[in-house]
Amino acid sequence: MSSGLLRSIRLSEKYLHSPVDDLESFYYTMQWAGVHNDGSRTGKHETDDLEDLRTKLASSADDRFQASLSIHRIRPNNREDVQKFSAFIAKLQPVLKEWYPQILALVHSWRTVKDGVDGTNDVSRYYTRHALAFAYRGVADYLKIVHKHRESLK
């Protein structure tokens, strides 16, 4: 779930869901899938480090942020890190690390533009006009990164 949606639930505030929320949620879903898949199809890769990541990803937004930083620090070619965290998350790490700042920039851009429109009569026109542009931009960012890392993801 995106940070904006989590915040709105925690504060019991109204929140207008956007495509940017979906992209951010997809990012966190990829992390979750990465730490729950050992890549061996046995499902038997268990370490305290991996369990810590799983717990943090399922907790608060702050814990999830800390888990993201931990995943970004995994060294994909380091044998010790691969043993601690699994080959699958190690392979996925470069994509997640490169994609994260782009997701944050997209969230920031969406809020900046949205805040400039809130309170006017053009809110519905804003969402209609810009939602697809932000969605396409986010998907394009993701696809560029996956394409760049395609060989290492095999």
Return the SS3 of 82: helix
Asked, for residue 153, whether it belongs to a domain, the answer is no
Of the candidates 63, 110, 104, 71, the one whose C-alpha atom is nearest the C-alpha of residue 90 is 71
pLDDT-derived band at 45, boundaries 50, 70, 90: low
Q: What is the pLDDT of residue 93?
A: 95
Distance, CA of 12 to CA of 121 (rounded, Å)? 24
**What is the Rg, in whole angstroms, of the alpha carbon atoms belonging to the chain?**
17
**For 68-83, how does the pLDDT look when each residue is reduced to its tens digit (9 = 90+)?**
999 999 999 999 999 8
Say what the pTM is.
0.84
Range of the domain at 126: 3-148
**CA dist list (Å): 91 to 3, 49, 77, 97:** 25, 17, 9, 11
Say which residue, 43 or 60, is predicted with more confidence: 60
Asked, for residue 111, whether it belongs to a domain, the answer is yes
Return the SS3 of 73: coil
Asked, for residue 154, whether it belongs to a domain, the answer is no
Asked, for residue 59, whether it belongs to a domain, the answer is yes
Asked, for residue 112, whether it belongs to a domain, the answer is yes
Asked, for residue 47, whether it belongs to a domain, the answer is yes
Average pLDDT value over all residues in the chain: 87
Q: Total domain count for the chain?
A: 1
